A and B are shown apart, each in its own frame.
Chain A
Amino acid sequence: MSGNEENVCVVADKLSEMCGLTGKFITNELISVHGFQPVLSTSRDVPTKFANTSEVNVFHISQAFALDDSVLRGLVSESSSIFYNLQTAKDKTSEFYLHTSRSYRSAIRATLNKLREAIDDEDSNSDDVKKYENFVTIFYSIECSWHLCEFLLIDSSSISTVPNLLEWTKFHFPSPSQNAAEMLINLDRDVDVRSNYWVTVKGLILQGQIDIARALLKLHSSSETMTFQLAEKDLQSMPIFSSHGGLSLQKFRSQWSYWSTTLISKIDSGLYSTEPDLEDIMKLITGDKATWMEVCKDSNCWYEHFAGFLFFTQPSAKYFELGASVNSWLSQWASSKGSSGFTNLNHLERMVLAVLKNDMAEFIHSIQDIADNKWFVVHLTDLLVHCDQLRMSNEGDNTSLVIALRENLIYDYGAMLMSRGSLWEIGMDYLEFSSSEGLGAREILLQRIPIKNDLQATNVIAVARRHGLAAIEQDICRVMVKRSMSLHNYGNALEWAIRSRDNIYVTKVANVFLFHYCKTGKMLHKDLLAHVGAKMFISPRLLFLVKYFDFHRYFSSRALAQAAELLVNLLDSKIIPEFFWPSLLADAIPLLEHNEPIIPSKETYIIMHHLESNLIPFIEKKNRQRENINTDHGDDIELNLIDGYPDDLVQLLRLACARNLSRAMIIENTLIH
């Protein structure tokens, strides 16, 4: 996670080994890499010597994606709802921002707990433990710097910077407090023989916990001695700055300088010389440089004692004044450590430094390097922009810059989640609040969610509907039509086609039903056709299919009059697919030839009309096709059962019509008295 370390990824490829590599970013998460020999303007345009020597491979290299880990995913989903609340909240007060910040932090802490539990559960040698330990480091530093930002930037009500810094230091370096608590609970009279007694007392003083330090001093076996009594008196009378307190800054300063001058003179006159540890403490309080240098030597990181130093030297410092103090402290700290200071700082130390110097550009830059898939930078930036605390530069108006930064970060994060398996629904929420680009990307990415079955399709559709993306719903339906067709599941195909409301798709599937009927004389999926209902009007072909199915139902239930009426209506409806003419007219034969006359003369004329003007041309056209093209083109036409004997069909029909017409005319023209 440290920023300057290179991440080496070895591409195992024969060709690349010989000639070299080149790569390109596909997205900002994905790099495509392949073997490549550098070509210059001077190189000759001929195949290289590596051409055709080994196979050419293209590799995709992407950053490891950590957020779908079972533990971190909880953080992703929890933070997404905090994020959403932040975007949609109506009443945006500073308390609300503070509350939001705390919610984020509590989510991080919960994750840290879960990570520690996971480490305990795992076998200590497994890779998972290493992975989780790495996560603990990452999220610990995130929490640590978020906490810092919270009271320095987000909590606008806080005016007292130094006490907050002390609290923060106490939280992240808890050992003095813990040790003290243990000693105080046990009330050991001879605590001073313990090896960590003075370390603890000093630690408390360095964190400004004067009262607890005093309580510990009282436990010391020689607490009744003069020196200890004096120390107790001095510590008790120490003036403490409080921004809410009664003292004005001027008054406090004069009190402090009086008090500390007295203390220094006491130290100088050797009043504390009998107890060197106590003397050290007093020197620390007076801000004695040499003693602080000594302390710094044992410190773990540069900011461990920084807050304490401020407490005794500049207790009223404001956030914007910290820059200078930080610099002088840091050089002091670095010289005590004997190193050159800045260069050896780890990532977290640099982040803390950037925040304390109020160098937000540097801070945002450094937190982007954390291997948390940008979780931290996205959420913190968003929150800081919301409460208007992000200053990227001190010159001019940087609002647009900051807004663009936030939008970009959220866009990238949302797009990344949407491309990562089942996190897509969470990604949608982020894109919704990024930019207008994000809204567009949301639609495009939603279409790309892989759909393997009905359940997944239904899920995506439900989300699309909730976001009012009707076009996506249609697209998914079309995909499902294709899937069902390829699975020969025509019932589902028709159902999905109806949902897509796409005439082309509905027609295509309805044709399958009609072809099947022409081929076998059997209707597919009768239960489905019976319940299409008003939805049949989506497509003329579907309307025809359903009506034709109705005709069949009438016919098979011997409701011949209705069947005949429907048939004639269908013939006149102009929605008959051309290939269906033979079938449909053939259906008229049993009705025409029925014992009882069913079709009156007028309707018989209609049948005859369609016979001559539709069926005959159709048959002729097909004959022509057969002559011209021998094999290729006959797919749908060949399916027809009746197709083999077109002339017989015409013959039969003409006869049937003639016979029925004569019957009908006789009946119609007979006057009954």
Chain B
Amino acid sequence: MNETIVKINSSFVSERINKVRFVETESSQEPDMFLSGSSDNKNNVKLWKLIRNEFSDEMESELVPKAFTKISVDGEVTGLEVVDHNNFVVSSGSGISFVWINRDIERNNLRENKRFKNLHKFKTGDSALCTGVALYDDSVCSIGEDGKIAVLSLTSQKLSAEIEKADSVTQTAVKFISYKELITGNRLGIMKSFDLRSGLKEATATFAISCEDEKKSNGVTCIAYHPTQQHIILGGSEEGSITVYDLRQPSYPASYLSAHDHAITELMFHPTQPDKLFSTSTNGEMWKWTQNMIQTIPQDFEAKTPLETVNSWLNGERAKKNVQISTVLSGLRKSITSVDCSKQSRLVCSCNNEAIYLIDNVY
């Protein structure tokens, strides 16, 4: 096996895809299925399977995606999170749906188990767009244009908590960092953390993302947290930069990295190799960030912790020097809307040129 050859396969799918997510297999093999959610006139979530390309001349034929089944949804898909290999949640229009993947070979379809309509509304009663969804164990959290946070339970299929006035402006990103703690980001460039168990209806902390020019509007576009050190929060922004916060010291940003020239659309850590991060942008770039672990060699050998590793994301000014950046995709000219990486070495990403890219062996 030649691990070093990066294989890129592009497939035109005849619609604008806004989110892609792998459906992980139960075994340790590469996932052979993924989901896509569209942002078009009529919208749907499609289940794709990777099949061998029958037209390929090569001996080791490449894998191409083929849509097997779909389920139509109201409004654009703004979020898609996979619960396990049989279930996923999708945010679209003004609500959230829980969907079950029927793996019966005969039918092989998607079935909507529960739909929460009109979770988000304006004061006038008009429905507001649900702009994102986050998932942690049993909890599903939805955010919207109306600035409301709604928490749903997967097992009871009910609304379990609500924060009516979580934000004054449209929320654009949401992530759970623990079963009770939630981080949201908004169009103004503010990230807020909420504690769900305390019953508090206001943010426990707010952090502003940095901006090159303070007079420019710079909204949060996506949030990611470090898979193993969950106090490290990365906020992607409209201007294309990444602001890193250490939740243990939330009063100021730990690092500020200028990155893409245009808005970042998604930040995705590799689930099992936390030193790798992928970022996508609206000008059609995907970058891979590989982090070098810095080992601070203690001056004093009698120090309590003989070897302490500092996460290079927290290195302030020097952070960028300790992270290597390489380009995975570029020159697509249209927004890469979403990326997902498998536990092994497969990437899937969607672009507004109506194509889906599958990339193998990228690490």
Contacts and interface: CB of A to CB of B under 8 A. Distances in A.
Contacts, number: 120
A84 B334 CA distance: 12
Given A488-B123, A499-B217, A528 B12 contact: no
A495 interface: yes
A70 B15 contact: yes
Interface in B125-158: 126, 128-129, 131, 145-147
A574 interface: no
B170 interface: yes
Contacts of A137: none
Interface residues of A, number: 46
A84 B214 contact: no
A486 B123 CA distance: 10
A73 B123 contact: no
A32 to B, nearest CB: 24
Given A491-B169, A495-B187, A74 B12 contact: yes
Interface string A440-460: 000000000000011110010
B351 to A, nearest CB: 10
Contacts of A528: 168-169, 188
Chain A contact residues: helix, strand, loop or mixed: helix
Contacts of A459: 39, 335, 352
A455 B129 contact: yes
Contacts of A58: none
Contacts of B266: none
Given A454-B131, A499-B217, A533-B214, A491 B168 contact: yes
Interface string A71-83: 1111101101100
Interface string A468-491: 000000000000000000111101
A265 B123 CA distance: 99
Contacts of B335: 459, 462-463
A466 B188 contact: no
Nearest to A465: B262
A466 B206 CA distance: 31
A422 B217 contact: no
Given A77-B12, A77-B354, A454 B145 contact: yes
Contacts of B39: 422, 455, 459
Nearest to B167: A527
Interface in A52-81: 70-75, 77-78, 80-81
B56 interface: no
A492 interface: yes
Contacts of B126: 487
A47 interface: no
Nearest to A536: B215
A495 B12 contact: no
Contacts of B170: 454, 492, 495
Contacts of B2: none
B215 to A, nearest CB: 5
A471 B138 CA distance: 46
A172 interface: no
Given A425-B352, A525-B168, A527-B206, A495 B123 contact: no
A81 B332 CA distance: 9
A488 B145 contact: no
Given A84-B333, A455-B39, A73 B217 contact: no
B40 interface: yes
B190 interface: yes
Contact of A487 (B123, B168, B216): B123
Contacts of A487: 122-124, 126, 128
A396 interface: no
B360 interface: no
A527 B190 contact: yes
A534 interface: yes
B16 interface: yes
B282 A466 contact: yes
Contact of A527 (B14, B146, B168, B214): B168
B169 A492 contact: yes
A197 to B, nearest CB: 32
A466 B354 contact: no
Interface of B: 12-16, 39-41, 55, 76, 78, 122-124, 126, 128-129, 131, 145-147, 167-170, 187-190, 203, 206, 208, 214-217, 262-263, 282-283, 333-335, 352-355
Closest 4 CB pairs of A and B: A491-B168, A525-B168, A77-B354, A73-B14
Given A492-B168, A494-B169, A533-B214, 8 more contacts: A421-B40, A462-B282, A466-B283, A488-B123, A489-B146, A492-B145, A495-B169, A538-B215
28 contacts: A70-B14, A71-B14, A73-B14, A74-B13, A77-B354, A78-B12, A78-B355, A80-B353, A421-B40, A422-B16, A425-B334, A426-B354, A453-B128, A459-B335, A462-B335, A486-B124, A487-B122, A487-B124, A489-B122, A495-B170, A524-B168, A525-B168, A527-B206, A528-B169, A533-B214, A535-B216, A535-B217, A538-B215
Interface of A: 70-75, 77-78, 80-81, 84, 113, 421-422, 425-426, 429, 453-456, 459, 462-463, 465-466, 486-489, 491-492, 494-495, 498-499, 524-525, 527-528, 531, 533-535, 537-538
